[in-house]
Amino acid sequence: MIDPGDRLSLAEHGVVTRDLPQPPPLRVTPRTALFLDFDGTLVEIADHPDDVVVARALPMLIDALSRRLEGRLAIVSGRSLAALDALLGPVKVAMAGSHGGEFRPSGDDGVLALADPLPPDVVTELARFAKANGGLLVEPKPFSVAVHYRRHRHALEGLLTCAGEIATRRGLTVKHGKQVIELAMPGSDKGNAVARFMALAGFSGSVPLFLGDDMTDEDAFHAVAASGGDGVLVGAMRPTAARWRLEGVAAVHEWLASALEATPDA
């Protein structure tokens, strides 16, 4: 447990500003549910989204954990489901992609849309800005569009202004992640995705944990807290609604793998 003096009240502030302890070992019980972000949590962030390296053992680890949890494991990512499938291969686990705009209740189910498709002209407008400002990487998704400024940090102020104007005109949400600005349709929200999973029969009544590294994961941290669970921040400390922290991707893999080595709890 955390000393009360080291944690601000979620009810009052919603964030923790002092450093957090490591989470206790993951216990696989009939009441455990696990939600995992992808970039920065399961894989290291790369300069280009296509350049991430998926550890050879990761798909097997995720699949094995999902089976031990009887399906109460879901990946909740800003990436599209198509991109996640291409990177992870045929792992049959529940997923929410595009920040929750795409929803797949289990590995054997079809994809449900939790948001309306992004209008193509939004991508066109951002692509025009990107081209005029040094060629920023524009990543269209079914329910959002991301603009990566990692190699063009000078363009951030203008990008924020451009994205904000588009969002106001079109009723979109602006998400600011690690070196990326994203415009998303209403309904594309990791917190909404977690809440939707928790309403399913397979997840209902469980105690959820969410692991994530970015500001876009804060909605999910609040969502699991509302269901009696907790968040685990991955990476450097920052203001957060999470309760615990792991140092990075390698620590996440070790923490997850240790649960498979332990004897299942009754």
3-class DSSP state of 139: strand
- Determine which helix (DSSP H) or strand (DSSP E) holds 109, and give its type and residue range: none
Residue type, 52: V
> Residue 83 contacts by C-beta under 8 Å, 6 or more apart in sequence?
49, 97
Cα-Cα end-to-end distance for the chain: 22
Residue type, 234: V
Say whether 85 is catalytic: no
Instruction: Answer for the pair 227, 191: CB distance below 8 angstroms, yes or no.
Output: no
Catalytic position from the list 37, 39, 214, 219: 37
Give the CA angle between residues 190, 255, 13 to the nearest 5°: 45
Judging by DSSP bridges, how do beta strands 244-246 and 207-212 pair with one another? Answer: unpaired
Residue indicated by tokens 């970039």: 39
Give the CA angle between residues 107, 192, 103 to the nearest 5°: 25
- What positions carry a catalytic annotation? 37
